[in-house]
Structure 1
Amino acid sequence: MEAPTARLLTDFLDSTVLLEQTQYEEGFKDGYRDGVASGKEEGREVGLKHGFEVGEELGFYRGCIEVWKSAIMIDPNSFSSRVQKRIGQLAELAENYPLFQPENQNVQEMMDSIRLNFKIISVNMGVKLEYEGRSRTSKQDLEDIVV
């Protein structure tokens, strides 16, 4: 048979351990709930910011395409056939960009193709056009620095 003082000590320790576990679980639940709420809000803000930046850059390229197409309509010889072909390819890339499908796995590759075609057109035209809204430290810029 267990001594009464040993039983009281065991009951006291059990309740202390149980209290600690209960407090831990409540703290975890509270932290998880708060993290989910703030994570959704932060994710929304980041998504809106990134979406705006992508839309702004894509709008820049589409605006250039429209100006070039207008110049070609006014004077079909304003650009070489190679540049005109590239403008058509760029227009197709910009038109097919999945603006309303952010979960599409190819969006970064597509934007990289748009940027590359735009640079090629600019070089072939002998002008230095550049979208200045995006940050200067893109993946391609970092690769250029390393090479």
Structure 2
Amino acid sequence: MADFDLESLVHLEQTFYDDGYKDGFTHGRIHGLIEGRALGREKGFEMWEELGFYEGFAVIWKAVYVRQGRQDDRGFHHINQLLDLISQFPTANPSVETADVDISKLFRQIRSRYKALCATLGVKSSLRANASSSISAEEDIPEPPQNVGSGHTVWELSDAAKVKAKPGQDLSF
């Protein structure tokens, strides 16, 4: 009976808790790395898909401006700044210690420049990265103009397009 330690019985629950915590922490670390990599891959793909859209948009409009000889226009300036910001975006995963680029800040600047370019061009900006959005792609596409009686073309109003009209309640201008 001299070898029996009563103190170990008092802390028996804490001992089991500590052992379970260590095992759970190790197990959680492994699964956290796996899930983190999968989430990082998914979000990284979404970012690059959005950046690719912006770059393609800018390159196409730049070609239009060059073809029209409008290199001194405000839109051309926005295009060049957008392409410059996109070229600054890192193409490799920077480590935390050497990260000299604030990715979220740069991404916000790119989005802002894209919105400014769209406003300058008179184009509706679309910031959806992919079609998995809760809004269907057809909701943003306006209906084609309708010819009304005297040959005038009328576009539907955005609020009127959302409200379903009852048969026989067509509006004409």
Query: Would the TM-score normalized by the shorter structure come out above 0.5?
Result: yes
The alignment's C-alpha RMSD in Å is 2.6
State which of 24, 30, 35 in structure 1 corresponds to 2:28. Answer: 35
Describe the SS at the equivalent of 2:77: helix
Contact 2:75–2:120 (8 Å) recurs in 1: yes
Unaligned runs of 5+ in 1: 137-147
Identity %: 34
- State the distance in 1 between where 2:8 and 2:118 align: 75
The structure where helix makes up a greater share of residues is 1
Give deviations 1:69-102, integer Å, cap 9, x for gaps. 221232223x761111111011100111123245
Q: Cα distance, 1:44 vs. partner?
A: 0.8
Give deviations 1:5-61, integer Å, cap 9, x for gaps. xx79xx363342354444233212211111111111111111111111111110110
Unaligned runs of 5+ in 2: 135-173
1:1-147 superposed matches below 5 A? 11=4, 13-17=6-10, 19-77=12-70, 81-102=73-94, 103=96, 104=99, 105-133=101-129
Contact 2:75–2:121 (8 Å) recurs in 1: yes
TM-score, with length taken from structure 1: 0.74
